[in-house]
Structure 1
């Protein structure tokens, strides 16, 4: 098996990948990166020119961007069942909501967090559209539950669920009943709890 390494910081979206790796239950190494000089070092920029985490290396392959890493790992370990079969109807929903969270949801909640102007005048030119429309669309992902792809828990739940959990914590996402119920379901998973404990312990040792 090719060596799998997660470059991470516990104060980052790399927590999402840690959660997925714990769900997959595959061996992996962890390389903790400090913000600042270490993430902007020549060696790390050779892996990710953006100078940010998470990054994974799998053998000689480098993958960056959280949604891309989620999709990659689910496919690489397809036997674990964290992505619907390629020829299934659920595969479209899986891709739809995985990349909806990476695009419109990320943009709309960032706009809310930083008070960026997003209104009827500029919404047609902004990829996420209006905040309320984006959140309403997100809610439709949960209507056929208990998971985004129906009965199957997938990497899309890990990615979308993380956005929902953090969005409610940081008040960039409305605490709608559907979101709260979904978050409780995900946070009760053993892998989520274990991954959180690992990163919380790491957080105590990493300079802020």
Structure 2
């Protein structure tokens, strides 16, 4: 049995999306995004006190990139990974782990805008720098999708993969702090992959407590 420990609108959403895309049976344990993640019971699953934690085959895995690689290998017949020797394997790994680069900037902005409650503790400089770094990440995706060969539908030449899921979920978080409008190919690609039913299934259900209470947080102060 597979069990995913998950908080809405966090990195664990990319694992949830992937599980839906793989179409495998799993249990979902939704946890509050609070200090309970530091409880000894949960720290025995993820010693970093974060989500996700994935229980599978008697083991626990707790880094999203590692989880994605293990699941793609475990369910190789689903075609969402690219095995060693595949021509797209290097690009698959690059984009799979680039998702974490995007997420670290989005996480810094989440802390500044949401986790820190007092304006005096926030840094306008950090907010502006991290938002610009997200734009640089979007520019890297834009360049990939605008190759001379063609406007790619997906990040890999061979088609949709878990790399699109990982980067797509990172963009889902990052777009709260950097707009997609200046990046038309990213916006087109993002719209396409988020039309998938599996993405909708990974979204917080109606009435769930959300991490983000607005669609966009502009750099502060303007």
Same fold, judged at TM 0.5 (above): yes
Distance in 2, matches of 1:32 and 1:130, equals: 31
Residues 108/36 of structure 1: CA separation in 2 closer, same or farther (3 Å cut): closer
Q: Unmatched 5+ residue regions in structure 1? A: 120-128
Q: How many residues align?
A: 192
**TM-score normalised over the length of structure 2:** 0.75
The corresponding residue for 2:208 is 203
Distance in 1, matches of 2:78 and 2:170, equals: 23
What is the CA-CA distance between 1:181 and the residue it aligns to? 0.3
**TM-score normalised over the length of structure 1:** 0.79
Q: Unmatched 5+ residue regions in structure 2? A: 113-124, 214-222
Q: Of 153, 166, 171, which aligns to 1:146?
A: 153
Residues 110/19 of structure 1: CA separation in 2 closer, same or farther (3 Å cut): closer
| 1:1-208 correspondence to structure 2 within 5 Å | 3-103=1-101, 105-110=102-107, 114=112, 115-116=125-126, 133-143=136-146, 145-168=152-175, 170-175=176-181, 176-196=183-203, 199-201=204-206, 203=208
Distance in 1, matches of 2:25 and 2:133, equals: 41
Distance in 2, matches of 1:102 and 1:37, equals: 23
SS at 2:36 equivalent: coil
What is the CA-CA distance between 1:117 and the residue it aligns to? 8.0
Bigger mean CA deviation after superposition, 7-16 or 135-144? 135-144
Q: Is contact 1:118-1:131 (8 Å) kept?
A: no
RMSD: 2.9
